[in-house]
Structure 1
Amino acid sequence: MKKRRMFSMLFMSAALAASLTACGGSSEPASNGGGSSSPPANSGGSTPEPAKEPAKEPAKEAGADIQEMTIKISHVVAENTPKHQGALAMKKAIEEASGGKIKVQVFPNSSLFGDKDEYQNLVANNAQFIIPDMAKLVGNDPGFNIPSMPFLFSSDEAANAFWDGPKGQEIFKRLEKDGALGMGMWPNGPKHITNNKKPIKAPEDFNGLKFRTQGGQVLEKLYSTLSAGSVSIPFNELYTALQQGTVDGQENTFSNIESKKFDEVQKYMTIMGHTRVDYALLTNTKFWNSMNDATRKIVEEGVKVGTDFARSQAAELNAAALKKLQERGQIEINELSKEDIQKFRDFLKPVYDEYNPIIGEDVIKDAMSR
């Protein structure tokens, strides 16, 4: 009886222990509710550290590298010319690409500097870009006589190709000694003759007349060969000089003749295309070198936009200007035939004989090949 009672008590104790174990009395740590349990301490494993992302540099604001500045572009002709339209296209491209950090001011009609002092003011960095007639630069280098050589280029495209090529770029680089940097050529186009005395159809018709030219020894030689006088007068003073009879006539592109209304003070115009008006887009070397890479890239792109636009506008504006001159009917217009032009070529051969060695026979040859 005692043995049976002892066995019952042992059985009850075992049942109670089993019950406690089933109710969750385990000594293992509880799960954190969804994540996997940590490995046991004696398992040899360890909890991996979360991967650290590399530290990020603070993001730069767009355009943070662009320098704030004001650029002045000065030129001497009217607003409705290829030169001014190119300058406006350059302004727009630079201001938009810089987000307004670079301001560009364009001064036409000699409103900032004129023919006589624009180059000096560029060198002094009082203007950052000028666009002078290349004839104004012949004293700096004889290569800029190229547009004045008679009947040298057959088209705007031929002239563009020369100045974009190695010989043209070589001439531009020669200005760096002055503190100026040649950025490219902007064409205005072939020049034509106006005067107040008589129609001009042959070389002998020039005899005794006096013309305003852009200046330079080549043009002096050209007109002296034709037995005519030549004088350099600032462009912004030319209308008055023609009106007062200081000179009998002048040579210029259709767009310059029309925009300055020279037909109001001239009786005759001859379509000749004997010489050209080509402009040099120049900048100041100190200004150029002061820009960081990001800023210079924007200005370079603006220069390209302006150059392309000025070139595209040259032929279009000259054609429109000729039409306006014809419609106004204030000036008698004569056009040379191919035979007439050949007579002028033959007559002006002494100009080439004298200036081939001065400009460089290699340069002249390159220009003729275009």
Structure 2
Amino acid sequence: MKNLKKMLLVALTLVFSFGLAACSGSSSTQKSGETSEGSGTDNKDSGIQELTIKISHVVAENTPKHIGALKMKEVIEAESGGKIKVQVYPNSSLFGDKDEYQNLVANNIQFILPDMSKLVGNDPGFNIPAMPFLFESDEAAEAFWDGEKGQEIFKRLEKDGVLGSAFWPNGAKHMTNNKKPISKPEDLEGMKIRTQGGQLLEALYAELGAGSTSIPFGELYTALQQGTVDGQENTFSNIESKKFDEVQKYTTIMGHTRVDYALLTNTKFWDSLNEETIAVVQKGIDEATKVAIESAAKLNEDALEKLKSNGKTEINELTADQIEAFKKVLEPVYKEWAEKIGTDIIKDAESR
């Protein structure tokens, strides 16, 4: 009887031990085929990782921003052999201006493309596109942001857990209005101009004797049509695609400020990638940046020709002497904001 009890006790102990081992193995092993969604997964084994990457932006499909994002999707998916899926969300369909940065930090999204004017609260260096007559061309702006001081501004976002991946241009801004042709600073006195917002642009127009206000881009056509504002500043592609020439009698080619974008990702996502995966994603970024730059120049060139052929708005281009007159009037604003941004940064930008 005693022997029988001992045998039963040994058997029960073995069954219990095997059960614990089985439970332990099943709880610590990841199921085969699981993928991460912009995950920040700790699995950095060699080979391209399986991921889903989300790219969010706030503008329409017929823009350099979206064209570049689609190229990024194409390259990453092809180079990864389908292991990486890329989803692109235009038109604020996932996140908008007000919440995209916070969701990037939280890794709810892996890439965003904000207008740099939306980042001035994070660092004053992002006021660079609003500095009057700072860059004479897209190439000069590109050279600055790819250079040491531009990259220094991008690096300042790392305190938020954000990485600056690339500069994508939209282009130089020009002015339209419904009052009169603009050829000298005094012509703007008393006008109310819609801008993207920000203290620098407010100061710029105040120095010119004009008022400024920020109106959502989607509401701007109606605001111009109804006379809520007298004019606005924008790239040729935005002016033509939104048909502002239908409700603005005059267009002045000025190039006084710019619209530029920053392609941003986050450290949680980027640090989760192994070397092979980073190489694939970086190639997508590089190829997309080339396409975005080329498409911005082409869209603006084509848009100006369409505005001319439409004949709905009177177009005049400032001469070099007229631009110098504007620069002289805006010199106090330029000096004040050069100090806020950093005189070393402005000096570098001026050299481009």
Give the TM-score, by structure 2 length: 0.83
Matched, 1:173 2:155: yes
Residue 142 (structure 2) aligns with: 160
Report if aligned partners of 2:49, 2:277 keep a CA contact under 8 Å in 1. yes
Report if aligned partners of 2:46, 2:276 keep a CA contact under 8 Å in 1. no
Q: Distance in 2 between matches of 1:76 and 1:331?
A: 28
Report if aligned partners of 1:270, 1:336 keep a CA contact under 8 Å in 2. yes
Residue 215 (structure 1) aligns with: 197
- Cα distance, 1:64 vs. partner? 7.7
Residue 289 (structure 1) aligns with: 271
Equivalences for residues 10-29 of structure 1 within 5 A: none
- CA deviation digits over 1:304-330, x for unaligned, max 9? 111111112222211001111122222
Report if aligned partners of 2:69, 2:88 keep a CA contact under 8 Å in 1. yes
- CA deviation digits over 1:74-119, x for unaligned, max 9? 2222222222211111111111111122121222222322222222
Aligned partner of 1:339 among 304, 321, 346: 321
Matched, 1:264 2:264: no
Aligned identity (percent) is 73
- Cα distance, 1:233 vs. partner? 2.6
Q: Distance in 1 between matches of 2:220 and 2:114?
A: 16
Aligned partner of 2:231 among 237, 246, 249: 249
Report if aligned partners of 1:133, 1:278 keep a CA contact under 8 Å in 2. yes
- CA deviation digits over 1:126-170, x for unaligned, max 9? 321111111111111010111111111111111111111110000
Matched, 1:99 2:81: yes
Aligned partner of 1:115 among 97, 108, 111: 97
CA gap of 1:184–1:230, structure 2 versus 1, over 3 A, is same
CA gap of 1:188–1:266, structure 2 versus 1, over 3 A, is same
Aligned partner of 2:67 among 70, 81, 85: 85
Q: Secondary structure at the match of 2:85?
A: strand
Q: Distance in 2 between matches of 1:114 and 1:327?
A: 34
Report if aligned partners of 2:46, 2:274 keep a CA contact under 8 Å in 1. no
Report if aligned partners of 1:122, 1:130 keep a CA contact under 8 Å in 2. yes
Residue 183 (structure 1) aligns with: 165
Q: Secondary structure at the match of 1:291?
A: coil
Matched, 1:324 2:306: yes
Residue 212 (structure 2) aligns with: 230
Bigger radius of gyration, 1 or 2?
A: 1
Amino acid at match of 1:315: A
Q: Distance in 1 between matches of 2:230 and 2:326?
A: 20
Amino acid at match of 2:60: A
Q: Secondary structure at the match of 2:277?
A: helix
- CA deviation digits over 1:37-60, x for unaligned, max 9? xxxxxxxxxxxxxxxxxxxxxxxx
Q: Distance in 1 between matches of 2:181 and 2:101?
A: 36
Q: Distance in 2 between matches of 1:118 and 1:252?
A: 23
Q: Distance in 2 between matches of 1:337 and 1:126?
A: 48
Amino acid at match of 1:204: E
Matched, 1:151 2:98: no
- Cα distance, 1:355 vs. partner? 1.2
CA gap of 1:241–1:107, structure 2 versus 1, over 3 A, is farther
Q: Distance in 2 between matches of 1:267 and 1:111?
A: 33
Q: Which runs of 5+ in 1 are unaligned?
A: 1-62
Residue 358 (structure 1) aligns with: 340
Residue 311 (structure 1) aligns with: 293
CA gap of 1:196–1:157, structure 2 versus 1, over 3 A, is same
Residue 114 (structure 2) aligns with: 132
Figure out how many residues of one structure are paired with residues of the other and give that number: 308
CA gap of 1:245–1:70, structure 2 versus 1, over 3 A, is farther
Report if aligned partners of 1:78, 1:259 keep a CA contact under 8 Å in 2. no
Q: Distance in 2 between matches of 1:254 and 1:121?
A: 31
Q: Distance in 1 between matches of 2:221 and 2:96?
A: 15
Cα RMSD after superposing both structures = 1.7
Amino acid at match of 1:106: V
Aligned partner of 2:222 among 223, 237, 240: 240
